[in-house]
Amino acid sequence: MFYTTFSQRIFSQSEQLSFQNEEKYIFIFLISTLSHSDIYFYLK
């Protein structure tokens, strides 16, 4: 990973962040369907 340029590292970091956010919202959506909005507001 050390041979990547600074801009490429920034891009991959932002990609990881957006992927983690998607994962988090999907997880919240699945749980909120089971226990309504309580856990959604708790995690929010």
DSSP structure class, residue 44 = -
Residues 1-44: tens digit of each pLDDT? 444 565 566 556 666 666 667 777 777 777 767 665 565 565 55
- Which positions ≥6 away from 12 have C-beta within 8 Å? 4
Is there a domain that residue 32 lies in? Answer: yes
Is there a domain that residue 30 lies in? Answer: yes
pLDDT value of residue 6: 57
DSSP structure class, residue 7 = H
* 5, amino acid identity: T
Is there a domain that residue 5 lies in? Answer: no
The gap from C-alpha 31 to its chain's centroid, in whole angstroms, comes to 15
Provide the domain count of the chain: 1
For 24, the domain range is 20-44
Residues in the chain: 44
pTM of the full structure: 0.34
Distances (CA, A) of 8 to 3, 16, 41: 10, 12, 35
pLDDT value of residue 23: 78
pLDDT value of residue 30: 75
